[in-house]
Amino acid sequence: MYHFFKITLLGSMLTLMGCEPNSMLAADQQRHLICKSLIQGFLNTQQLAHYQITQNTADQTVAQIRYVAQPNTTQTLMPQQQKLSFLCTQQAQQIAVRLIDPTAGQAQMILTLNLPPASHMKRLTAYALAQD
């Protein structure tokens, strides 16, 4: 009986530990979707819709994600900056996007988004993120 209890307890702990990364993964996916959408919206307003956004995972931390936007190779003949770097941070219920100046290395705030509380987000979300 004692061994059965230990095995059941161990199985429950492993199951709960396995669930934790998935919930974090869903939150990370949601933050990535919001950051990428804000950056794409900024690029569209600047007539740079032909830029492709990639996530720079080498400089990623829990609180911030770096993105790089580059033009498609054959889209335009106009002179343009080859690479735009963005920094997306989340503090509590606010997501901020900054454009990084490549020469000075300073980040200029370009967009902020105040998120509703988590209970409202679930109700407002029209889709469900895939659980791996």
82, 68 in Cβ contact below 8 A? no
Domain hosting residue 88, numbered range: 2-124
In-domain check, residue 131: no
* pLDDT at 27 exceeding the cut of 60: yes
Q: What is the pLDDT of residue 40?
A: 93
Mean pLDDT, range 7-13, rounded to an integer = 44
Classified as helix, coil or strand, 52 is strand
Nearest Cα to 97, choosing from 49, 39, 44? Answer: 39
Evaluated on CA atoms 17, 23, 24, 26, the torsion sign reads positive
pLDDT above 70 (res 104): yes
Q: What's the mean pLDDT in 43-70?
A: 82
Q: What is the pTM of this model?
A: 0.67
Answer whether residue 79 is part of any domain. Answer: yes
Where residue 93 falls (left for φ over 0; alpha for ψ -120 to 50; beta otherwise) is alpha
Give the integer Cα–Cα distance in Å for 101 and 17.
41
Q: In this predicted model, what pLDDT tens digit does every residue of 116-130 receive, in sequence order?
A: 887 776 777 666 666
For the segment 8-16, the average pLDDT, to the nearest whole number, is 44
Q: How far apart are CA 56 and CA 73, in angstroms?
A: 19
**Is pLDDT of 20 > 50?**
no
Task: Note whether residue 132 is domain-resident.
Answer: no
> What pLDDT is attached to residue 30?
82
Position 127 scores a pLDDT of 64
SS3 104: coil
Number of domains in the chain: 1
The single residue listed with the structure tokens 């993964």 is: 25
Residue 129 domain-assigned (yes or no): no
